[in-house]
Structures are given as structure tokens and as C-alpha cells.
Amino acid sequence: MVANDRPIGPPGPEGPTAKDLRLGQESCGREIFTAMPVRPRGKAVSVMAKGRSAEHYLVWHTISVDDREAAFGVAGDGPPLVFLHGWALTHRTYRRALRRLVDQGVRVYAPALPGLGGTAELPREDRSLAGYAQWLDRFMATVGIGLPGLVRDSSAAASSSAAPWLAAGMPVSARVEVLLKAMTLDEKVGQMDQQLVTTLTDPNSASCGDNGFNLPNAACMQKILIDQHVGSVLAGGTNNPIDTTSNGGVGNTGFDWANEYNIIQQFAIKNSRLHIPLVFGVDAVHGFGHPWQAPLFPQSIGMGATWDPAAAQAGGTVTANALRATGWVWDFAPVQDLARDNRWGRTYETWAEEPALSAAMGAANVTGLQTAGQGGALNVAATIKHFAGYSQSVNGHDRNEALLPLSYLQSVILPSYAGGIGAGAGAVMVDSGSINAVPATASHYLLTDILRKQMGFKGVVISDYQDVPALQSAYHTASDLPGAIADAVNAGVDMSMEVFAPDQWQNAILQDVRTGKISRARIDQAVRRILTMKFQLGLFDQPCVSDPSKPCVDANAADAAVTAGRGETLKQRRNPSHCCVTAATRFRCHRRARSLSPVQAPTR
């Protein structure tokens, strides 16, 4: 609700009453409910809309004119109606507020003010507050609009009647659109911000910084997830949870990962206005390598040396089962960079130096990772990284400059990424370096012209760790954080791995929208992609969304799921004409791949 308003009371069984619709009359003064249609562009707007379904909702916003505020409620998933009420506003100011909405293409139903037209739907002789409320009561009953629980009480989860996006039978695209229309700008840009999970578990409520993966701190969760509307969290490479059993356990078990997920996710769903779940990201490149006793597979360079895509797919499937059991279902893998410079320190994360081999292995791994969950289990999103040419730095250093002829980029570098993208990967992570003096994070050519238009990628583009602020602090291509965010978002970044200071992200990107550096259409485009991924992962269909008192995942079953397969050996198919093992080096090799992977010698 807006400032100075008290929550709307729950509607009775017959629909909202006149009393329910008085919206804080005591504190706000005189409210006026809409009854008179504005005639935008010379065309009258029909007031009544009979025969509509009951899947409607009403979300309240504010608009400022002449330093005064008016509130308006938007009814969606039906006629684009707007109901206005204001307090202590002059007719001139009120008309400006209405005109601003009309200019934005919104159909406005306004109070009976001179020059704003008329309608027979409301008796002209009854323009009292009670008369407007009674008319609106009848109108809402006719079109099937109810006042949703999500507006009345943010501590209760939304129902599908109050929040149509929760109707599991609707197509994902329809669920996304109806939710997007219900969101405020602040809520939208929060979805584009990813923060470290340790900022939610800092025991110091004042700092809420990176001070260990402890039990969640409610004050920090409120500050980051609710006040700043953050939509995603990640666990860094060294972030492992403490014991959450209170029984002196070792910590970092499948149970601990699932328990942390449940506590944080339940808090976000219960306390946010629209109850939008978070998406949790983690690096699981060759198995879910964080939890204790989780099975690990050979590093990707070793898998690539087998020339066996089936092995990469099997590894992806096992990894996905561990991830979905804990709720951390956004996997920042596979790495589709090519190993063509032995100076580069992350060669072991790649599949090979050969584009065709890397593409095939990556496609298979994505297929395994994104195998659909069974029995209502969550799905997993794979992430192709680091787009593009990350491994080709001029000096072999990480996160550095690459100088690549465009013919080499197109014919050698891009096909490896295309394999994973073609397999349907849900996300792409951007190269932390630059290509031909342009930071990849700010390259419209790379992220839009090539990735979107040429390669046809439809999913979420996320920056790497702190790479958006790096446009200001490291590359110096932007003079401040708002400039860095505008460059990245307009280039094609949908979500920034900010990791710290969500208030700075929120303030900076909102400034960009106000100044026109980022359009609202671009914000909607990015958030639409993020919400689509969340729906596809099944996050909106978890038990905790309809009832926040229920766990989102079964933490008691997580240990068994995470450690499944630990006692088994991944059997690699061997082609005798291509593979060999030498006793002297203990390496498995492939002449065409020219890639080496250590094979563990038997213990004696």
C-alpha cells in the first residue's frame, strides 16, 4: 500500500464492501473513487466489462504531481482499468495526474471533474464518497475483480485467485505477463540484482556483509530481500554452510544446504509483497562440489579427453539430482571456453581445444543438467560461460583482454558456446575480460547482435562476479555506477552479480530509469526473462509458495540425494583405436583432442 494508507480490509463473501473501499479515509482525508471515464485520443472507454473471468487482481501504486501524491489501483488480467483516489488534491493537480496516466496509454476512470467527460453508469446526482464506493462495489462485482490477500497482508502467501500467476495450468508466458504487470519498478529492478548468500547470514545486522555462511539473519534478510527486493542469491566458490542441525554436526552437508535454502526462501516468499521466490545459484562444474561427500567427476578437460558425450550427460544428470534436492538449482556450468593457451590458469575447466568436441560435450552436459525433475521436483538451469573468448587473453591471465580477429571469433570461438546454447541452456554468463578493447559486459555487439540475433539465445544473461561495477572501477569506461549499469543493461545484461550493496544497485538503476538512460521496456524485457526462468524451474510451484509454513524442499532427504553415486565409478566407454593409458605417466590421452587428464593411480 501507499504511504499514509492503512491496509484494505478483507472482502466479505459477497465481494468488497463500501467500507472495505474507503482506504484509510481517517488518515488520508477525502478519497474519490473513479466513475467518470477520460476519453483518450477522442474515443470513449467502456466502463462495464461483463462476462470476464474471476482471474483479476488489483495492485496499488502512487503517482506524484505538483509535489503531491495520488494513489491508483491497476486491475489486470482483464480490461486495463485504473481506479483512482486522492487526498487534499486540487482539481487542477488531479487532472494533471489523470492526464499523465492517459498519456502513458492507460485507460483511466476518473472522478466527475469538469472537462473529463461523463458516464451514465454512476447516477449523476450521487457523487458522495459512499455513492462512489457503492458504485465501485457493483462495478467490481460485475467484472469479477476481488481485492487480493497479497495486498491486504504481506505475511500470507498468495492464492491463485488473488495472484493468477500461481495458476499452474496457465502457460508460462501468460503467468509471466500477469505477474510483470503487478510489479512495481522497484520490484522489477530488484529481480535484476544477485547478492552473495553470506550477506544474508552475517550475524552483524548493521553490516550484512560477507562474514561467513552462518544461519540466516532475519534483519539482513529483511534489509536485502524485502527492502531492496533482491531476486537472486549465490554461493561463492568457498561458501559452505555451518552446521544447521544444532546437534554438533560437521556442517556443509546436503541437509545443511537444503536447510539454509528453506529458511531463506520461506522468508522471501512470506514477507515480500508479491511472494516471488528467489533463484539460488552455485558453481557445480564437475559435480556439486560443495557439500561433504558429494560425488565428483573428472574435471571437464578429463571428460573431454574421453570423447564421450554420454559421460558428460551422465555427470550432468547426477549433478542436477543433487542440486534440485537442495534447492540451489541455477548451476553456473558448463564452461564452454576453449583451452588454447596453457598459460591460462582455468584450462582444466574446459572440455578441449577443439570447437566441435567442446560443443558436443557441452551440449550433452546441458542435456543432463536440465533433465526434468520427477514428481514435482525442481528443474535445473545450466549456464554457458564465459561468453565469449574468455580463455584467449593476450597474456594468459584471468579476466583480461583478448584481441581476436572477428573471423577467428566466428569460426573457432563461438561454435563451442553454440553447442550448449543449442541444447537449450537456460542462462549465459558473460566473459569478465574484454574483446578488442571493449569490455564484454558492455558489448552490445557481443551480447545482443551475436548472442541474441545471430545465435538465437532466449534465456537470461548474467554478468560474472562484480563485473558491472568493474566497468567503472577497473575498465574506467563509465564514470559512476549508474553509468556502468546503463552500459551493461543496454548491452544485454539481464542480471548483475553485484554480490554486495543492493541499496547502491537499486538507487543507481532507478536513477538510470528516471534520466532515460535505461528504458522501462528494457527493464521489462530483462525481468520477463528472469521470471520465465523462475517459472520454468518450478520455483513458483513449490509447497512453500502456497503455504510458507511448509518447507520448500525436503531437507531430510537431501543428504541421500547429494551423496548418491559416491560409491560407484562412472564407467567411460573406451575406443581402443583412439585411447590409451601409459603406465609411466598415468595419463589418458587422445591424439586428436591433444588433451590430457590425470587418472588416479591405485592406492597400494
Cβ(300)–Cβ(285) below 8 Å: yes
- Smallest Cα–Cα separation from 145: which of 185, 95, 109, 187? 109
Question: Distance from CA of residue 535 to its chain's centroid?
Answer: 10
d(CA 337, CA 420): 11
d(CA 206, CA 204): 5
d(CA 330, CA 317): 14
Q: What is the 3-state secondary structure (H, E, C) of 295-334?
A: CCCCCHHHHHHCCCHHHHHHHHHHHHHHHHHHCCCEECCC
d(CA 453, CA 476): 28
- Smallest Cα–Cα separation from 151: which of 183, 188, 111? 183
186 is catalytic: no
- The alpha carbons of the chain give a radius of gyration, in whole angstroms, of 27
The 10 Å CB-count burial string (b at 16+, else e) for 35-58 is bbbbebeeeebebebeebeebbbb
Strand partners, 385: 335
- Residue of 202, 331, 431, 464 with catalytic role: 464
Residue 50 cell numbers, joined: 461483463
d(CA 32, CA 226): 31
| Contacts of residue 347, Cβ cutoff 8 Å, sequence gap at least 6 | 301, 339, 341, 391
User: Which pairing describes strands 57-65 and 68-76: parallel, antiparallel, or unpaired?
Assistant: antiparallel
Residue 147 cell numbers, joined: 481485492
Catalytically active residues are 464
